[in-house]
A and B are shown apart, each in its own frame.
Chain A
Amino acid sequence: MVDGTQSPLVAKGAARTMAHFWMILGVIIVAFPVYYVFIASTHSVQTILRPPLPLLPGSEMWDNYSGAFSGEINRIGGVSLWRLLGNTTLIAVGIAVGKIVISMASAYAIVFFKFPFRMACFWLIFITLMLPVEVRIQPTYKVMVDLGLIDTYAGLILPLIASATATLLFRQFFMTIPDELLEAARVDGAGPWRFFKDILWPLSLTNVAAIFVIQFIYGWTQYLWPLLVTNSNEMNTIVIALRKMISFADADTPWNLVMVTSVLAILPPILVVVLMQRWFVKGLVETEK
């Protein structure tokens, strides 16, 4: 999907202009909500509360953003914006890295070894693929308490590593590695570690990047689980802080700060996706094939 590759569908003249028209329309629709929240973050509470909201940036941008970073958020949530962003990053990276490590290891075992109950193990993992944490939240919480993981980063990260998506993706990819490669490596006297380090890992890099992006975003966007297993403000993530600012009942909501926080909660994952898009797209599409 590199620019300049001639696609079999390339059109000329009016058809191509029409295509541009449709793409521009599509992009406007798709990107509008994100633009909208950014616009809202540059207006005062009064403007936001008395809609319709203008579609151009307002003059309060500097006040809103500097206020949010210099302690306004701290005042409401008891913890600074930096800490929130730090926590969320740590959790998202922890989930992504943890998932890559354990699922690469298990996929490696399933594909490159022969042992009793191999397929049973695979199924055991695979069935967990799609069950969302919301559905089993109460008993999972009890497990966390018994293991003493409440209010720890491990408690925020470990249960969310338990899904099987990454294992499946790595398995699919490993199965496309030709037998000849493994045979050649074994003739050279390479053991499992050297085969992995010298041959498999370099070949897997795009997939690792893709899974990193997918899981980073999965971790970044969690809400219900972090809310349940953290008791201290210091462990909050930015999505939780955002919900904390929005009033459900009586208090007045600092909508300008809500918008700033939304932008900051959306921006890092967008940056990750956009900056890593080349590997992400390639890995995503290749592993799923």
Chain B
Amino acid sequence: MRRTVFPHKLLPWLLLAPQLAITLIFFYWPAAQAFRQSVLREDPFGLSSTFVGLANFRKVLNDPSYLNALQVTVIFSVLVAFFAMAIALFLAVQVEKIIRGKGFYRTLMIWPYAVAPAIAGMLWLFMFNPSFGTLAWPLRQLGINWNPLLDGDQAMMLVVAAATWKQISYNFLFFVAGLQAIPKSLLEAAAIDGATKRRAFWTIVFPLLTPTTFFLLVVNTVYALFDTFGIIHAVTGGGPGKATETLVYKVYNDGFVNLIMGDSAAQSVILMVIVIALTAFQFRFIEKRVHYG
């Protein structure tokens, strides 16, 4: 909280008004509608509807395919967050060892950030399609039975790779900034103590990066949960079987393709609760960093 503020009473409300209006109209009102729909059973056209209480929620939570989607979501998110961060950190450390050409590398590293998920998905599918993908061919030559259309694990690898690819740019920029903020004197002291580079990294650099790492962990988790819809939609469509069907994809598929309105709305509500919990978690963390960081 600031010590000094402007004394106006009406002005802050005027400043807040546009944002509040848009939030209420385009977020809270639709969210309330989703809540309403989640306790109804309706035909797709809304011609008839009956109140069913929490039956939709019970059905969703007891549905093995929902639990499967939950499991897929957790595995997918953990893998994407891990690889996107690990690769970005590795490359950030490498680029910091370099003096000339840093700008050039960075410029190329940030490209994927600008590619639409729907297009990214299409590209990866095109490269790794088992029959005509340019990169699937060498895999086959290596004796790998590459068939993500039937092999659920390979399909998962493919969507994880595509989703990771899109997120490396963002993580890379943050790790580079984090590395540059590390005081040079600390590393010099370590060198004098005779610590190897590797040990110095794990005992000094990595702990100092914790705030950045933790922040990125939250951002990457949210990214993997929600922003990867376009990629999964384009690359696997949730298949084979239900091997790559995440929670968000299931909301889309049940509501948008299979037209099961009540179930889909109930899933939306569950997702909103997850989002609010995650937001609260992130908020506490960010507040801390503002005060102490």
Say whether B226 contacts A106, CB under 8 Å: no
B182 part of interface (Cβ distance < 8 Å): yes
Is there a chain B Cβ closer than 8 Å to A161's Cβ? yes
State the Cβ distance, A288 to closest chain B Cβ, in Å: 7
B266 to chain A, nearest CB (A): 12
0 or 1 for each of A1-18: is its CB under 8 Å from B? (1 = yes): 101111111110001101
> What is the CB-to-nearest-CB distance from B120 to chain A, in angstroms, rounded to a whole number?
7
Residue from B118, B184, B186 having most chain A Cβ neighbours under 10 A: B118
Q: Which of B25-33, B52-60, B72-80, B144-152 contacts A (4 or more CB under 8 A)?
A: B25-33
Whose C-beta in chain A lies nearest to the C-beta of B222? A130
Given A8-B187, A159-B26, the answer on whether A3 and B103 have CB atoms closer than 8 Å is yes
Interface centre among A6, A29, A31, A109 (most CB of B within 10 A): A109
Q: Is the CB of A158 within 8 A of B22?
A: yes
- Give A221 to B165 CA distance when docked, in angstroms: 16
Query: Which A residue sits closest to B170, measured CB to CB?
Result: A284
Q: Does A182 contact B (CB under 8 A)?
A: yes
Does A197 lie at the interface of the complex (its beta carbon under 8 Å from any beta carbon of B)? Answer: no
In the bound assembly, the distance between CA atoms of A8 and B96 in angstroms comes to: 8
Bits for B10-43, please: 1 = Cβ < 8 Å to A, else 0: 0111011011101101110111111001000000
- What residues of B have a CB within 8 angstroms of the CB of A167 in the complex? 19
- How distant is the Cα of A126 from the Cα of B280 in the complex, in angstroms? 9
Is the CB of B142 closer than 8 A to any CB of chain A? no
Q: Taking the complex as formed, is A105 at the interface, i.e. its CB lies under 8 A from any CB of chain B?
A: yes
Tell me if B's interface is mostly helix, strand, loop or mixed. Answer: helix
Q: Is the CB of B107 within 8 A of A23?
A: no
Task: Tell me whether A138 and B4 are in contact in the complex, defined as CB-CB below 8 angstroms, given that A4-B99, A9-B187 are known contacts.
Answer: no
Residue A139, interface by CB 8 Å: yes
Query: Which residues between 13 and 43 of chain A lie within 8 Å of chain B, taking CB atoms?
Result: 15-16, 18-20, 22-23, 26-27, 29-31, 33-34, 36-37, 40
A99 to B106 CA separation, bound complex (whole angstroms): 27
Determine whether the beta carbon of A19 is less than 8 Å from that of B187.
Answer: no
Min C-beta distance of B91 to chain A, whole Å: 5
Minimum CB–CB distance from B140 to chain A (whole Å) comes to 11
Per-position 1/0 for B84-107, Cβ under 8 A of A: 000100110111111111110111
| B231-288 interface with A by 8 A CB criterion | 248, 251-252, 255-256, 268, 271-272, 275-276, 278-279, 283, 286
Q: Interface size (B, Cβ < 8 Å)?
A: 106
Flag if A112 contacts B20 (CB, 8 Å): no
| Complex contacts, B16 vs chain A, CB 8 Å | 105-106, 109-110, 121
> Is B290 on the interface with A (CB-CB < 8 A)?
yes
A75 part of interface (Cβ distance < 8 Å):
no
Q: Contact at B19–A102, with CB atoms within 8 Å?
A: yes
Nearest chain B CB to A204's CB is how many angstroms away? 15
Hey, which chain B residues are within 8 Å of A158, CB to CB? Answer: 22, 26
Q: How far is the CA of A191 from the CA of B8 in the complex (A)?
A: 10
- Residue in A closest to B93 when the chains form the complex, CB atoms: A9
* A136 contact from B23, B30, B137, Cβ within 8 A: B30
The chain B residue with its CB closest to the CB of A32 is B127
Say whether B215 contacts A288, CB under 8 Å. Answer: yes
B111 touches A55 (CB 8 A): no
Interface residues of A, count at CB 8 A: 103
Chain B residues whose CB sits within 8 angstroms of the CB of A126 once the complex forms: 279, 283
Interface 9-mer from A57-65, A66-74, A79-87, A264-272: A264-272
Chain B residues lying within 8 Å of A108, measured Cβ to Cβ, are 15
Q: Does B113 contact A (CB under 8 A)?
A: yes
**Cβ B115 vs Cβ A269 within 8 A:** yes
Q: Across the interface, which residues of A come within 8 angstroms of B127, CB to CB?
A: 33, 36
Contacts of A217 in B (CB 8 A): 113-114
Bound-state Cα–Cα, A135 to B70, Å: 16
**Cβ contact of B168, chosen from A30, A220, A246, cutoff 8 A:** A30
Query: What are the residues of chain B within 8 A of A26 when measuring CB–CB?
Result: 87, 91, 94, 105, 109
Contact with A along B141-182 (1 / 0, CB 8 A): 000000000000000000000000100110001101101101
Chain B CB count within 10 A is highest, among A134, A140, A191, A288, for A134
Residues of B within 8 A of A289 (CB): 289, 293
The proximity string for A residues 161-204 relative to B, scoring 1 for CB distances below 8 Å and 0 otherwise, is 11010011000100100010011001000011001000000000
Q: Given the interface contacts A30-B168, A33-B127, does A285 sit within 8 Å of B15 by beta carbon?
A: no
Q: How far is the CA of A161 from the CA of B20 in the complex (A)?
A: 11
Task: Name B's A-contacting residues (CB within 8 A).
Answer: 2-6, 8-9, 11-13, 15-16, 18-20, 22-23, 25-27, 29-34, 37, 87, 90-91, 93-103, 105-120, 122-124, 126-127, 131-134, 137, 165, 168-169, 173-174, 176-177, 179-180, 182-184, 186-187, 197, 205, 215, 222, 226-227, 229-230, 248, 251-252, 255-256, 268, 271-272, 275-276, 278-279, 283, 286, 289-290, 293
The 6 closest A-B pairs by CB, nearest first: A139-B33, A221-B116, A139-B30, A269-B114, A51-B132, A11-B97
* 6 further A-B pairs in the complex, CB-CB below 8 A; given A1-B180, A15-B197: A1-B176, A9-B205, A26-B109, A30-B165, A34-B112, A220-B116
**What are 10 A-B residue pairs whose CB atoms fall within 8 Å in the complex?**
A1-B177, A6-B99, A109-B11, A136-B34, A159-B26, A162-B27, A182-B4, A246-B122, A262-B119, A274-B107
